[in-house]
Amino acid sequence: MAIREILIWPDPQLLKVSKPIVLNADGSVPDDVKVLVKDLFDTMYDADGVGLAAPQVGVLQRVVVVDIRAYESNDEGNRAEIPSGDPPIALLNPVFSDKSGKLEWEEGCLSVPNETGLVTRAARCRVDYVDLDGKPQTIEAEGLKSVALQHECDHLEGKLFVDYLSPLKRSVIKRKMLKLKAQRDDDEG
Ligand code: NI
């Protein structure tokens, strides 16, 4: 289990566009990408998030992981075992092939700790992606899962939820994050 450091906005790495994953000649997923996916899950679970994108750990590759079960977990923060199964998912090179409807959600982000903001997203979406076997797949989502997929894929374009907020709210959050970063740097000596 490897937990990577989550970058805090406005770290410059978070503002860059990530590069597509290139599969091996035999169509399989490179080992370093598989390790990255595992680390993203470990890091996301450690931080109690519902999603994480590779650029958030400083890797500019088009990889995101989503597991909305954290949101449905109980008060102790335990991940509920949801029998109907909305399994954790890793998406390589995700591309939206459809979006419809509108949904407002009070979003947060592991790169913007303790802050939230109201963002309007598509209520439903369809995403084409490559799975960990190197196979093309399509997923359809609505509600929180739709929101999470759009939020995480935004990270691959160097975009965060704060970019949807008013300039005032954004600058207030930015000041708090710069303070938080300075505190962390101090703590690390
Ligand atoms: Ni985020």
* H/E segment holding residue 100: strand 89-100
Task: Check if the beta carbon of residue 94 is closer than 8 Å to that of residue 128.
Answer: yes
Active site residue 115: no
Going from the Cα of 110 to the center of ligand 1, the distance in angstroms, rounded, reads 6
Question: Can you give the length of the chain in residues?
Answer: 189
Integer CA distances (angstroms), 110 to 13, 38, 100, 136, in order: 14, 17, 26, 28
Per-residue pLDDT of the chain (189 residues; tens, 9 = 90+): 799 999 999 999 999 999 999 999 999 999 999 999 999 999 999 998 999 999 999 999 999 999 988 665 544 444 444 444 578 999 999 999 999 999 999 999 999 999 999 999 999 999 999 999 999 999 999 988 999 999 999 999 999 999 999 999 999 999 999 999 999 888 876
Going from the Cα of 160 to the center of ligand 1, the distance in angstroms, rounded, reads 6
Among residues 72, 107, 140, 152, the one annotated as catalytic is: 152
pTM over 0.75: yes
Domain spans, the chain: 12-188
Going from the Cα of 84 to the center of ligand 1, the distance in angstroms, rounded, reads 26
Going from the Cα of 30 to the center of ligand 1, the distance in angstroms, rounded, reads 25
What CATH homologous superfamily does 12-188 map to? Peptide deformylase (3.90.45.10)
